[in-house]
Structure 1
């Protein structure tokens, strides 16, 4: 029975960044990847140093090709069905009934985005509806922009967006802006629209249809999706979760270890804010930390 030093569950940007450090540390690594990236809806990935404007699939494919050059790395296409601690090892079972064992687990399964139930919103996710102005704002060329509220926390997003274009905050019956909110929004020239949103339409632009029949055409609409771990594996292993204003992620220490010894989490799964750049850096940190744990945890105390 082959025992890997580390099994990385999730082969997107964070998982590959962690696997790269471990492979270069000459450890035997298995990456199990279901092939579903969070940014698969976006045509281009912006704000990534050295990769600005490339299609996300191209960035991922090039990274994977480089990883496969390491003979001590095994890439497995598939989904992890279960993972558990068995003595000093972790046992992982894949969707095609492969059983793998490892000394450490690195979880990089990402999070799933949950949008308000508004007709047309999901269909335009990553096209004219976005979550991150740093990733998509510049390309909107200072056109009219909107923020669709999901909670009071959306005020923070609305205060950011005017740097990329004139902004309207659609409160959509989620909350009533306080007097302080109104003062802050006015200081940033953000218009407040209290009429409920009934539908999002348009192909080259985001057309917001209001309940009273009025249409508001925008270059882009921003919304903070609510997130939760995309895979139940972290729950199954007993990892503690943390909560941010926009959802849940796996709680880790400064070296990316979860509350379960030997289990690490990185990327969007293991942090409150997500981006490709953060995922790569977070994965690299986790890779370093897992490698160090394999060395120092085995030394005499």
Structure 2
């Protein structure tokens, strides 16, 4: 595969940045910013493909499966970053969304040389977390040719899990190993081959979209509020109180009291106040509405 590397879009030289080493600081910043502006437009073109990944993830989580990101280097770190934000943002169990990277957890802060070149390690890491046919695996590789990711996607499909390939090159190698591919082509990097830049930004945007949209579809959001936020610190408790007040219009004191009665469950507190019911009543209404706050409130007002 090495002989094909120079021909990849992610490895081409950017004609607009040939003289960047002699530019002054502000001009360098402008060049980088102008290139970054192209990323959102590239992501826009692949939204239909991102939708498929979301549909896979919603299906997996709805039937007891998981969403698994797997990659090497920057790609792996971005997957881990998105995964670890889900429990505090949406009160999801840590196993719901997981991030795996070549070389293991220690590779997050320090590169593990050669880890990404081992196709069998991708399969091994998925075996170790007990991957099943209920899961969705998103393999991330800017180049689209990382052996570790190829091995992971091959294994995922072999056991019947949904496999999604996320890359920044057309006709990427990993696309052939997936049920569906997202190829977001952002063009040559400001620094040739430095895919932590535009490619990384594009992947961060898409991973944000996948996890956030999945959680919205699963009832973790009401209007545009994080009603399933996990209250693990003072800041998040303040946010929870503000959310309750925003939805219900009650005073701060009433919001605090409802939150305490709801055992720090924001969704439950909102339904208690809007439906004028007890904690147990709110829990039951949410259960009947499959966790969707809007439906629980509407049912109470009928």
Same fold flag (TM > 0.5): no
Query: Is the strand fraction higher in 1 or 2?
Result: 1
Name which structure has the greater RCO, CA cutoff 8 Å, separation 6+: 1
Query: Is the helix fraction higher in 1 or 2?
Result: 2
TM-score, normalised relative to structure 1: 0.30
